[in-house]
Structure 1
Amino acid sequence: MLSVPLLWLVVMYLGSILVMLVSAFWTVNDFTGAVEHTFTLDNFARLFTDPLFGIVALRTILVAIGVTVIDAVIAIPMALYMSKVASPRARLVLLVAVTTPLWASYLVKAYAWRILVEPNGPIAFVTGGQTPGYGLTATVITLAYLWLPFMIIPVYAGFDRVSNSLVEASFDLGGSAWRTVRSVVLPLVFPAIAAGSIFTFSLTLGDYIAVGIVGGKTQLLANLIYGQLVTANNLPFAATLSLIPLAAIVLYLFALRRTGALENV
Structure 2
Amino acid sequence: MTSVSTEAPPVRAPGLGRRLRLSLLLIPPLAWLGVAYLGSLAVLMVSAFWTTNSFTGAVVHTVTGDNLTRVLTDELFRAVTIRTVGVALLVTVLCAVLAVPLALYMAKVASARMRLALVVAVTTPLWASYLVKAYAWRVMLSPEGPLQWATGHSPGYGLIATTITLTYLWLPYMIIPVFAAFDRVPNSLVDASADLGASDFSTLRMVMAPLVFPGIAAGSIFTFSLSLGDYIAVTIVGGKSQLLGNVIYGQLVTANNQPLAAALSVIPLVAIIAYLLAMRRTGALENV
The TM-score normalised by the length of structure 2 is 0.89
Q: Distance in 1 between matches of 2:41 and 2:230?
A: 18
Q: Which residue of 1 aligns with 2:10?
A: none
1:210 counterpart = 2:230 = no
- Contact 2:80–2:244 (CA under 8 A) maintained in structure 1: yes
Q: How does 1:8-27 map to 2 (within 5 A)?
A: 8-27=32-51
Number of residue pairs matched?
Answer: 264
1:73 maps to which of 81, 90, 97 = 97
Q: Which residue of 1 aligns with 2:192?
A: 169
- Contact 2:214–2:282 (CA under 8 A) maintained in structure 1: no
Q: CA deviation at 1:195?
A: 1.1
Deviations 1:115-140 (A, max 9, x none): 11111111111112x11100000000
Q: Distance in 1 between matches of 2:180 and 2:111?
A: 16
Q: Which residue of 2 aligns with 1:240?
A: 263
**Segments ≥4 residues shifted beyond 6 Å:** none
1:124 counterpart = 2:148 = yes
Deviations 1:12-53 (A, max 9, x none): 212111111100000000111110110001101211221000
Summarize the Cα distance change of 1:161–1:141 in structure 2 as closer, same or farther, 3 Å threshold: same
Q: Distance in 2 between matches of 1:201 and 1:246?
A: 12
Q: How does 1:53-72 map to 2 (within 5 A)?
A: 53-72=77-96
2:181 maps to which of 158, 168, 177 = 158
Q: Which residue of 2 aligns with 1:42?
A: 66
Q: Secondary structure at 1:247's aligned position in 2?
A: helix
2:277 maps to which of 248, 254, 257 = 254
Q: Distance in 2 between matches of 1:165 and 1:101?
A: 34
The TM-score normalised by the length of structure 1 is 0.97
Q: Which residue of 2 aligns with 1:51?
A: 75
Q: Which residue of 1 aligns with 2:135?
A: 111
Q: CA deviation at 1:261?
A: 3.2
Q: Which residue of 2 aligns with 1:190?
A: 213
Q: Sequence identity of aligned pairs in percent?
A: 69
Deviations 1:172-202 (A, max 9, x none): 1111101111111111111111111111001
Q: Distance in 2 between matches of 1:217 and 1:95?
A: 36
Summarize the Cα distance change of 1:83–1:259 in structure 2 as closer, same or farther, 3 Å threshold: closer
Q: CA deviation at 1:264?
A: 5.4
Q: Which has the larger radius of gyration?
A: 2
Q: Distance in 1 between matches of 2:284 and 2:206?
A: 16
Q: CA deviation at 1:263?
A: 4.3
**Could you tell me which amino acid in structure 1 is paired with residue 173 of structure 2?**
F
Q: CA deviation at 1:77?
A: 0.5
Q: Distance in 2 between matches of 1:240 and 1:175?
A: 54
Q: Distance in 1 between matches of 2:282 and 2:111?
A: 34
Q: Note the residue ranges of structure 2 that are not aligned, 5 or more in a row.
A: 1-24
Q: Distance in 2 between matches of 1:176 and 1:28?
A: 65
Further displaced range: 71-80 or 183-192: 183-192
Q: Which residue of 2 aligns with 1:2?
A: 26
Q: Note the residue ranges of structure 1 that are not aligned, 5 or more in a row.
A: none
Q: Which residue of 2 aligns with 1:135?
A: 158
